[in-house]
A and B are shown apart, each in its own frame.
Chain A
Amino acid sequence: MPDPAAIHSTFVLERRYPRPPERVFAAFADADRKRRWMGESDSHTVEKFESDFRVGGGERMRYRYGVDTPLKGAAITSEGLHLDIVPDRRIVIASNMAFDHGPRFSASLVTFEFFAEDGGTLLVCTHQGAFFEGADGPDLRKGGWEALLARLAAETTR
């Protein structure tokens, strides 16, 4: 049997935040704020983060991973589109991900639903993805975890 051309997967994540929906929603609506939680990380630098928050507005990112991470200095790009926005209630974004100058490895539809709950927010995030060849970055990740473990062990057992 031939390998499938795409693997499909759906998962749902829930988070509760002690802030009202309008505050949580604002962290998506403002590109600078969104960059802080979605883009920034200790494991990569943000080379590009553009988010045009309106229906039909695009989202473009490029992250460069550190040479000492499992992705070993590679860059990952994402191009997306806001498909639906209902203030304080719902955001739907479609996007792909690719290794820079390389093949795309996934495409996804992500729906964020905001629910008021006890003065805070229940955020329900549904990720529906199609994953292509190399989606788990086997070549790039190979040995990456072992290297991370070894570094950690070296650091903690000095």
Chain B
Amino acid sequence: MPLRQPDPDRILTALGDPTRRSIVEALSTSPASVSHLAGATGVTLTAIGQHLQVLEECGLARTEKTGRVRTCRLAPEGFAVLEAWITERKSLLERQLDRLGEILAEDNE
């Protein structure tokens, strides 16, 4: 399936659902098969498939069929857009204080 343009509205809507968040949390540890995700979240295979489609469409996940197994993993695209959106909303001062932390960490006297 071609990846659509990541869009913060769709990403935030997708993450507004607790089952989809638990799928994302499960996948943040490692890629997994659809049946493994169904077992881990206690949701039917059909429902997992629908949730994965939503996650795929907003750029948060990708699935790939190898032989008879459909493997799912997180996609960096959607998360990059989400991260950029959050960074943009941070105040200048917050970004500066984050940078101060990086500079202090670089000091190794």
Residues of A within 8 A of B (CB): 11, 13, 15, 17-19, 23-24, 27, 33, 36-38, 40-41, 70, 110, 123, 125, 127, 145, 148-149, 152-153, 156-157
Contact = CB atoms under 8 A, between A and B. Distances in A.
Contacts of B102: 37
Contacts of B59: 156-157
A15 B93 contact: no
Interface stretch (B3-11, B14-22, B34-42, B45-53): B3-11
Given A17-B104, A33-B103, A149-B84, 8 more contacts: A13-B93, A36-B99, A38-B100, A110-B93, A145-B88, A152-B81, A153-B6, A157-B5
A131 B104 CA distance: 31
Contact of A19 (B76, B95, B97, B104): B104
A133 B33 CA distance: 54
Interface size classification for chain B = 20 to 34
A97 to B, nearest CB: 9
Residues of B contacting A: mostly? helix
A15 B97 contact: yes
Contacts of B98: 15
Closest 3 CB pairs of A and B: A37-B100, A156-B77, A37-B99
A157 B96 contact: no
Nearest to B101: A17
A156 B104 contact: no
15 contacts: A13-B91, A13-B97, A15-B101, A18-B104, A23-B104, A24-B100, A37-B100, A37-B102, A41-B99, A123-B97, A123-B100, A125-B97, A149-B7, A153-B81, A156-B6
A40 B66 CA distance: 47
